[in-house]
Structure 1
Amino acid sequence: MESLVNRSSVLRERVRGSTKKPINAVSTWVRRQPPKAKVYLAVAATVATLFFLRIVVHDHDNLFIAAEAVHAIGISLLIYKLTQEKTCAGLSLKSQELTALFLFVRLYCSLVMEYDIHTLLDLATLGTTVWVIYMIRFNLNSTYMDDKDTFAHYYVVIPCAFLSLLVHPSTQHHLFNRICWAFCVYLEAVSVLPQLHLMQNTKIVEPVTAHYVFALGVARFLSCAHWVLQVLDTRGRLLTALGYGLWPSLVLISEIVQTFILADFCYYYVKSLFGGHLVLRLPSGVV
């Protein structure tokens, strides 16, 4: 019986090793490439994924719905962490506050400019985010990593506000509303930076937080894919519908920036997942 158990464990190790080897080989090969080659590989992988999605997903509006669904899954993981594990360790309060800010501004813009199903989705997301902020600030404050969450709000709020004054939609809406619209688009693109900065400071990311940030990365990639494919489908007419000048291009750039800010983290997340590690360890220079 003992020999049978030993054989079984050896077989499991061989199977596990056989699945790890290709992943490790690819990871090692990518890591050895010069920076320029890594950029080309990332672009090629992104283009291939977009091409795949364009073929498989016939109605590209479904990509936006999928992005919202993945984002909801990420928020659900946060709720689980805060209510079941009774800790907010590894979560950035500043990132949640920036998220609440851009959601509040976007909700205002949605109410006065277009009011649709996305208004209700934003309201639900804002409510959840405010609850997360409350839990971190009051109920679970003793577990909050204040000394690691050092990314100042004004590093992103001031540049986004200044850029929104310079470049905003050229629609028929009131100037203040157009500036607010631009501000929430720009702030959303960089609101995750404090969270990434905190994780870089700690170097070790526990599972639930890693799952949450990965969900954000996937959601933002799907949202970016939705925009890019919509532009391709309309042969650029979508950008014209958004207005003129630099604004249409900056909307698309903001979507791309959101994706690439999280791309490096998602790479290490997937690598850690296939490697069988429960805790994600980030090397220096990821953020």
Structure 2
Amino acid sequence: MKASKRPIHKVAAWVRRQPPKVKVFLAVIIGTAAIVFLRMAVHDHDKLFAVAEAVHALGISVLIYKLTKEKTCSGLSLKSQELTALFLAVRLYCSFVMEYDIHTLLDSATLITTLWVIYMIRFKLASSYMGDEDNFAIFYMVIPCAVLSLFVHPSTGHHLLNRIFWGFSVYIEAVSVLPQLRMVEPFTAHYVFALGIARFLSCAHWILQVLDSRGPLVAALGYGLWPSMVLLSELVQTLILTDFCYYYVKSC
């Protein structure tokens, strides 16, 4: 058993000794290889988005277990949950008026569970809420995202207000996890890791759709800066979570 672990330990030790630039390069190589594998293994790349939402739901279920079994919400960011509920609600509205598909149902389920988590933190388990540490100013995230969505949004044939809402939900989603990263504890680490996996799958979904250039999603994106901003938003949130996921796997 020890012999089988030695190569893994040697590789891990070698990676730890490398400078940050080399680690970033290795992360890019691994991420690219994973996307290539997904492109070859998954024929319908739109399913990756559904899988990403399912992984997100799995992370939410971990929170539900923590809240119901341990009767505590310590280490859980209320502000991250509120930002998550915000982008889900806006995206759900856009989904109802613009496309309405399986993602609408998945988002509905995730929004309901997120609202339940918010209710538990605010009213049932308020005594264990770490409000002093959950002090990230979400005002400085919501306002820039709202302003950016006014100028960069989908160029499709839908109503302007709906296109602005769509852009706003994408930008808010990209930064919604930031308050939670300041409060990670051993139990909530599983939830954040699930978010990281979901974010990578979602990012891979967008990249593969753009590469294929034949999917309905690409046609819906329109033209201008919007397609680039969608990919940039996905990459930003993926990179935000990559560092945490690295240390999570390392600790496991």
1:75 aligns with 2:60: yes
- Rounded Cα–Cα distance in structure 1 between residues aligned with 2:151 and 2:111: 27
The residue that corresponds to 1:231 in the other structure is 210
The residue that corresponds to 1:88 in the other structure is 73
**Structure 2 counterpart of 1:153, one-letter code:** I
Of 181-190 and 142-151, more deviation after overlay is shown by 142-151
The residue that corresponds to 1:29 in the other structure is 14
Alignment of 1:9-24 (within 5 A): 15=1, 18=3, 21-24=6-9
1:271 aligns with 2:250: yes
Residues 31, 155 of structure 1: alpha-carbon distance in 2 compared, 3 angstrom cutoff: farther
Number of corresponding residues:
252
Of 24-33 and 174-183, more deviation after overlay is shown by 24-33
**Structure 2 counterpart of 1:225, one-letter code:** A
- Rounded Cα–Cα distance in structure 1 between residues aligned with 2:162 and 2:16: 46
- Aligned to 1:155, the other structure's residue is in SS state helix
The residue that corresponds to 1:277 in the other structure is none
- Rounded Cα–Cα distance in structure 1 between residues aligned with 2:204 and 2:20: 24
Which runs of 5 or more structure 1 residues have no equivalent in the other structure? Answer: 1-14, 200-204, 274-287
Q: CA deviation at 1:84?
A: 0.7
Alignment of 1:239-254 (within 5 A): 239=218, 241-254=220-233
**Structure 1 counterpart of 2:236, one-letter code:** V
1:63 aligns with 2:48: yes
- Rounded Cα–Cα distance in structure 1 between residues aligned with 2:113 and 2:125: 16
- Rounded Cα–Cα distance in structure 1 between residues aligned with 2:188 and 2:218: 35
Residues 238, 98 of structure 1: alpha-carbon distance in 2 compared, 3 angstrom cutoff: closer
The residue that corresponds to 2:197 in the other structure is 218
Q: CA deviation at 1:28?
A: 2.7
Task: State the percentage of identical aligned residues.
Answer: 73
| Contact kept? 1:231, 1:237, Cα under 8 Å | no
1:107-133 deviations in Å (ceiling 9; x for gaps): 111122222222222121111111100
Q: Which has the larger radius of gyration?
A: 1
Counterpart selection for 2:165 from 180, 205, 218 = 180
Q: CA deviation at 1:54?
A: 1.4
- Rounded Cα–Cα distance in structure 2 between residues aligned with 1:226 and 1:85: 36
Counterpart selection for 1:140 from 111, 117, 125 = 125
- Rounded Cα–Cα distance in structure 2 between residues aligned with 1:121 and 1:65: 8
Structure 1 length normalisation: TM-score? 0.83
**Structure 2 counterpart of 1:113, one-letter code:** M
1:61-82 deviations in Å (ceiling 9; x for gaps): 2222221221111111111110
| Contact kept? 2:209, 2:218, Cα under 8 Å | no
- Aligned to 1:111, the other structure's residue is in SS state helix
Alignment of 1:103-182 (within 5 A): 103-182=88-167
Counterpart selection for 2:23 from 15, 38, 57 = 38
1:39-91 deviations in Å (ceiling 9; x for gaps): 21111111111111112222222222221221111111111110011111111
Q: CA RMSD in A?
A: 1.8
| Contact kept? 1:110, 1:119, Cα under 8 Å | yes
- Rounded Cα–Cα distance in structure 2 between residues aligned with 1:177 and 1:238: 17
